[in-house]
Amino acid sequence: MIDVLVVDDHPIVLAGLTALIGSDPQLSVAGTARTAAEARELVGRIEHPAVAVLDLQLPDGDGIALGMELKQSWPALRVLILTMHADEATVIQSLASGLDGYLLKDADPEDVLAAVHSAAGGSMVVGRSVSGFVVAAAASAPRSDALSVLDARDLEILELMVDGLPTSQVAARLYLAPKTIRNRMSEMLGKLGVASRDEAIALGRAAGLGSGRLRSGQPPRTP
């Protein structure tokens, strides 16, 4: 069972999220709060929740600062921001602060549940509506920053995809099963914090992958 903490100052939203999370047989609402102060009070009463879903703006604080504080109390806690605000600076600040995901409140209910599960499993979660901000920010960073989360095999796969090869040809080139390539690609999306294969390819292209640079020993260019 995945224990979830929900913090939102709007009663209707809080009730809706509580009901949504409670509808999933693998999730359990460990506690709810409407302010940062109430959330802090839960620290001494709840044992190690797995995921916290936090509103960005609270009456007595902001979700990013609260998320960082809760992580200090529960080091294994994964924190998702769920908000109406989609400005680029806030999205990047949230993820740069060490939080684990950023979703908008217009997300489909099934996407919210999937995000909680993904975060609990250790993945970075970024909603479709804000993933473009993350791609743009990562694309403007040096490759060592943007793609440093990928291992050598990931980079081989991504480079071939940047070159336009379909999954079947990538698999053939690397002597792997197509299913293995698809599984690795799914894992890469989580590592990179993007929502689609196309966004991962955009990151790789911006970081200089492609045209056999890795296979020829040429370093990817620094944007």
What pLDDT is stored for residue 142 in this prediction? 52
Strand-pair category, 27-33 with 125-126 = unpaired
What pLDDT is stored for residue 223 in this prediction? 35
What pLDDT is stored for residue 97 in this prediction? 80
Q: What is the pTM of this model?
A: 0.65
The pLDDT tens digits of the residues spanning 51-60 come to 999 999 999 9
The pLDDT tens digits of the residues spanning 108-166 come to 999 999 999 988 988 778 877 776 666 555 555 554 456 888 888 999 999 898 888 88
If you average pLDDT over every residue of the chain, what do you get?
85
> Residue 7: is its pLDDT beyond 90?
yes
Confidence band of 34 (pLDDT split at 50, 70, 90) = very high
Q: At what angle are helices 63-73 and 88-96 packed, to 10 degrees?
A: 10
Residue with the bigger pLDDT between 123 and 3: it is: 3
Strand-pair category, 57-58 with 61-62 = antiparallel
Give the Cα separation of 186 and 23 in Å (integer). Answer: 26
Which segments of the chain does DSSP mark as H helices, in order? 11-22, 36-41, 63-73, 88-96, 109-120, 131-139, 143-146, 152-162, 167-174, 178-192, 197-206, 213-216
Q: DSSP secondary-structure letter at 101?
A: E
Q: Looking up tokens 């460990």, which residue turns up?
A: 30
Domains of the chain with bracketed CATH? 2-129 (3.40.50.2300), 142-216 (1.10.10.10)
Of the candidate ranges 73-87, 165-179, 187-201, the one whose mean pLDDT is the lowest: 187-201
Confidence band of 215 (pLDDT split at 50, 70, 90) = very low
Q: Which long-range contacts (CB under 8 A, 24 or more apart) does 157-161 make?
A: 157/181, 157/184, 157/185, 157/188, 158/188, 158/200, 158/201, 158/204, 158/209, 159/204, 159/209, 159/210, 159/212, 159/213, 159/214, 159/215, 161/185, 161/197, 161/200, 161/201, 161/204
What pLDDT is stored for residue 134 in this prediction? 61
> Residue 216: is its pLDDT beyond 70?
no
Confidence band of 193 (pLDDT split at 50, 70, 90) = confident
